[in-house]
Amino acid sequence: MCPKSHSFFIIFCLFVLASCTEKKEITFSEQNITTPNNTIVDINIPKAEGGDNVSVLINESLNQFVETALQYNQEEPSQGSISENIDNFNTEYINFKNQFPESVQEWEAQIDGEVMFKSPDIISISLSSYTNTGGAHGVLVITFLNFNAHTGELITTDKLFKNTEEFISFANPYFNEEISEKEDMYMDPENFILPQNIGYSPDGLILLYNTYEIAPYAAGITEFVIPFSEANSYLNINGI
């Protein structure tokens, strides 16, 4: 093989190798999920496109969230698909109306999601679930799901930090500032604990406590943001 041909062969091999190892960026579309007889459930969540294993795992986690959010009977949860749970929710409402025809109570379920943050290493998705099944008021729950952008696997909250205890000490003053003018908090600022929901956003790291987590219903959701410029040194995956 002549030197010129040899060089061409090496360049060709390097090009093929780069093409094989190049990571395809995960993209998302919005999907509305319903069934033919559905009248009270509205679902709009992101869908990871591509069909590769990363997209499949992300979509499985999103679908599982929706299935759980639609569980009317938490003591006997259904193992069905989203469509089955939508129909079950509608059926439970019909049964309720048949049992209490004089009731003016309307049931509803609204589940929405959005991609809050996406980088080559992490994807954060916010999911809000509002259900009203006849109580004094509906229940709104916001959930952050953080995914490893390389594998599609969920990242648990404790895996976000290099040292969780150090991050707690660091984040405590931000929490104290957020609640400084609030009353009737369940949590003593001196015994600060992290919320279940921590996610990445364009503005920084969001820490969010849902209704009833640390305060009465009237206080609503409590959240605060820590800029990445201050939080990155505590994180296993840096934000922008």
Pairwise pLDDT comparison (5 vs 215), residue with the higher score: 215
pLDDT tens for 130-173 read 999 977 788 999 999 999 999 999 999 999 999 999 999 999 99
Residue corresponding to tokens 């840096």:
238
* Residue the block writes with tokens 């201050």: 230
Which residue from 157, 148, 166 is spatially nearest to 205, judged by alpha carbons? 157
| Nearest CA among 222, 220, 239 for reference residue 230 | 239
> What band does 1 get if pLDDT is binned at 50, 70 and 90?
low
Given this model, what pLDDT does residue 207 score?
Answer: 98
Cα–Cα distance, 98 to 121 (Å, whole number): 51
Give yes or no for a contact between 154 and 227, defined as CB atoms under 8 angstroms apart: no
SS3 45: strand
Strand partners, 197: 208
User: Which CATH number is correct for 23-155, 3.20.20.220, 3.90.79.10, 3.30.565.40, 2.30.130.60?
Assistant: 3.30.565.40
- Looking from the CA of 229 toward its CB, the CA atoms found within 13 Å total 1
Bridge partners (DSSP) listed for residue 222? 209
Q: Pick the residue with more confidence: 113 or 24?
A: 113
CATH 3.90.640.20 fits 156-240, yes or no: yes
Would you call 24 exposed, middle or buried from its count of C-beta atoms within 10 A (0-12, 13-18, 19+)?
exposed
Average predicted confidence (pLDDT) for the chain? 88
Question: 3-state class of 2 per DSSP?
Answer: coil
The ranges assigned to domains in the chain are 23-155, 156-240
* Token pair of 157 as six digits: 């909250």
Residue 6: per-residue pLDDT: 53
Q: What is the DSSP letter of 160?
A: G
Share of residues in the chain with pLDDT > 90 (%)? 70
Quote the pLDDT of residue 51.
Answer: 79
